[in-house]
Amino acid sequence: AFQELVGRQGNIPNGIEALTIADYFTVSARKSAYLSVAPQIAAFKEYSRSLAEHLLDAKMFHWEKVLRELAAKALATLLPTLGESFGHEALGVLLLKTSDLELDVKHGAIVGLAELLPIMKEEGYELTEDEIQKIASLIERVDETKYYRGKGGT
């Protein structure tokens, strides 16, 4: 669909370049699509925020474990280009989702935090006291509430 849009409209910013990067063969392997193609596409400012938001809002909490893990790694690679404000926004979403009732969502949030926090430190992002407190208490909260268990308690 994107290829058709670029071809017919012709005024899509960096459309031809994006299509060249994200061709059939480069996106056919999931790992390549998330860890190689996504950062290249995100290098175009027109696409970086939307791509990151999609990873954060949809793929980070996908039912398939491998996709959650790839989304977390991909988002971490995009973070330096998105800036500190997006880092804090993502951190807020992930911290909130660690309390979700769905095990897939909780797992995605924790994996996302595990991938984003080292990048945030590397980039010199300043965490708020509230963020630090929520991160520090995460393991305790997960253990106390048995968040690692599914709805059936297993």
pLDDT at 19: 61
Query: Is 24 within a domain?
Result: no
Give the residue from 38, 50, 60, 45 showing the smallest Cα distance to 106.
60
Instruction: Report d(CA 88, CA 146) in Å as an integer.
Output: 27
Structure confidence by residue, pLDDT tens digits, 34-57: 888 888 888 888 888 999 999 999
Helix ranges, the chain (H)? 2-9, 15-21, 24-27, 30-32, 38-42, 45-57, 65-82, 84-97, 103-122, 129-136, 138-145
Query: Is 14 within a domain?
Result: no
Q: Could you tell me the pLDDT band of residue 70, with boundaries at 50, 70 and 90? A: very high
Query: Is 3 within a domain?
Result: no
pLDDT higher than 80, residue 10: no
Instruction: State which residues form the domain around 141.
Output: 47-145
> Mean pLDDT score of the chain, rounded to an integer?
85
Give the residue-averaged pLDDT of 2-20: 65
> For residue 15, what are its two tokens?
């459309």
Give the residue from 11, 36, 31, 6 showing the smallest Cα distance to 21.
36
* Domain count across the chain: 1
Query: Is 13 within a domain?
Result: no
Query: Is 104 within a domain?
Result: yes
Query: Is 54 within a domain?
Result: yes
CA distances to 70, 131, 140 from 137, rounded to whole Å, are 25, 10, 5
> For residue 147, what are its two tokens?
């968040």
Query: Is 35 within a domain?
Result: no
Query: Is 69 within a domain?
Result: yes
